[in-house]
C-alpha cells in the first residue's frame, strides 16, 4: 500500500513538472520578441589594452599620473571621486610634499572659522576628492537632468569596467542612418549624445575629450583622444582597486604553494597507507 501511494505521489509530481515545462515552452515559443534599437546597435566594450588587465596585470605608474591629470583637468568638472583621498596619490609615485602641494590645489568644503558658515578651503592630504556640485539637484540642473556618477568605483560597477570607460569616452559618433531607417522613433533626443557603448545608446554626458592635445602630459607622451581615454581608464581602474597589482602578485605564490602542498599531501598519503588494504 505504502509503495502504491509513493508511486502515485511520484507520478503526481512528474505530471506537474511536465505540465509546467510544457507551459513554459509554449509561452517561450509564442511570445513576441521585441527588437529595439539597443538590441541591435549596442556594442560591447573594446579592449583598451591596459597593463592592469589579465592575471599578471600590474599598473604603469607613469600612465596613472597621466590619467590623474586627465581626471583633474577634465572629468573633475562634473565627477567626484569620494572614496579616494589625496594621500592615496602617494601610490602614483608622488612624494609626501608633492601630495600636500597637490591637495592644496583643490578646494574642498569646509567651515569659515570666524563665522561658522560653510565655506571652501584648500585640500589637505587627508581630504577626499570633492564633488563639484553641492548636491544632486544642482548636479541635475547643470547636466540635462542626469547626475554624473561618482567615479571611484565605476570600473567595478560596470561590466568590463576599464574597457567600458575607454570605449565610452572614445565611442561618441553620429547616429547611424541604418538605425533611423530601422527604428524611426529612436532618434537621439535633444541634449543627449549617441554612444553605442552606453546601454541605452543615448548618454547625457557630452563628449568630454574631443581634441588631441586637450591635456598636456608632463612626461611628454602623446595626448590623442584615444591615449587620454586609455590613461584615464587606467587611473579609474587604480582608483577602484589600488591593491590590484598586489593581489595579482600575491596570488601566484599562493597557487604555487597550494600545488606543492597538494603534491606533498598526496605523497604523505601514499606513504602512510603503504601496504594497507583500504
Longest CA span, the chain: 91
**Binding residue (CB under 6 A) for ligand HEC from 40, 146, 180, 244:** 146
**DSSP letter at 184?**
G
User: Shortest CA distance to 51 belongs to which of 172, 166, 129?
Assistant: 166
Across 155-239, where does the E strand assignment appear?
A: 193-194, 202-203
Q: Which of 169, 186, 234, 239 binds ligand HEC (CB under 6 A)?
A: 169
* Dist CA 138 CA 125 (whole Å): 27
Our finding on whether 92 is near ligand HEC (CB under 6 A) is no
CB of 260 to ligand HEC, least distance (A): 42
Out of 85, 89, 92, 154, point to the residue binding ligand HEC (CB under 6 A).
Answer: 154
User: What is 80-98 written as a DSSP string?
Assistant: -EEEEEGGGGGGGT--HHH
Q: Any contact of residue 203 with ligand HEC (CB under 6 A)?
A: yes
Q: 93 in the Ramachandran plot: left (φ > 0), alpha (ψ -120 to 50) or beta?
A: left
Q: Does residue 186 interact with ligand HEC by CB under 6 A?
A: no
70 binds ligand HEC (CB under 6 A): yes
Start-to-end CA span in the chain (Å): 42
- Among 165, 186, 225, 240, contact with ligand HEC (rule: CB under 6 A): 165
Contact residue for ligand HEC among 104, 204, 226, 244 (CB under 6 A) = 204
232 lies in the site for ligand HEC, by CB under 6 A: yes
Chain residues that interact with ligand HEC, rule: CB under 6 A: 70, 74-75, 77-79, 143, 146, 148-149, 154, 158, 165, 168-169, 203-206, 208-209, 232
Amino acid at each position: 500500500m505504502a509503495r502504491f501511494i509513493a508511486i502515485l505521489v511520484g507520478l503526481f509530481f512528474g505530471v506537474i513538472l511536465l505540465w509546467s515545462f510544457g507551459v513554459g515552452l509554449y509561452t517561450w515559443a509564442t511570445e513576441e520578441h521585441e527588437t529595439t534599437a539597443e538590441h541591435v546597435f549596442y556594442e560591447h566594450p573594446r579592449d583598451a589594452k591596459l597593463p592592469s588587465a589579465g592575471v599578471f596585470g600590474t599598473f604603469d605608474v607613469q600612465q596613472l599620473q597621466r590619467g590623474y591629470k586627465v581626471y583633474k583637468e577634465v572629468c573633475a568638472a562634473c565627477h567626484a571621486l569620494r572614496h579616494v583621498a589625496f594621500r592615496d596619490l602617494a601610490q602614483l609615485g608622488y612624494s609626501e610634499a608633492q601630495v600636500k602641494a597637490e591637495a592644496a590645489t583643490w578646494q574642498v568644503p569646509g567651515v569659515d572659522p570666524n563665522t561658522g558658515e560653510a565655506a571652501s578651503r584648500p585640500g589637505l592630504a587627508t581630504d577626499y576628492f570633492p564633488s563639484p556640485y553641492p548636491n544632486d539637484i544642482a548636479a541635475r540642473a547643470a547636466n540635462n537632468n542626469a547626475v554624473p556618477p561618482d567615479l571611484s568605483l565605476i570600473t567595478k560597477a560596470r561590466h568590463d569596467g576599464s574597457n567600458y570607460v575607454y570605449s565610452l569616452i572614445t565611442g561618441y559618433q553620429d547616429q547611424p542612418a541604418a538605425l533611423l531607417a530601422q527604428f524611426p522613433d529612436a532618434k537621439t533626443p535633444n541634449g543627449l549624445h549617441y554612444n553605442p557603448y552606453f546601454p541605452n545608446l543615448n548618454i547625457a554626458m557630452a563628449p568630454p575629450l574631443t581634441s588631441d592635445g586637450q591635456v598636456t602630459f608632463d612626461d611628454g607622451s602623446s595626448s590623442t583622444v584615444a591615449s587620454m581615454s586609455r590613461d584615464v581608464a587606467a587611473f579609474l581602474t587604480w582608483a577602484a582597486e589600488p591593491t590590484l597589482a598586489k593581489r595579482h602578485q600575491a596570488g601566484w605564490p599562493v597557487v604555487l604553494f597550494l600545488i606543492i602542498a597538494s603534491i606533498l599531501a598526496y605523497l604523505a598519503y601514499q606513504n602512510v597507507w603503504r601496504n594497507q588494504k583500504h
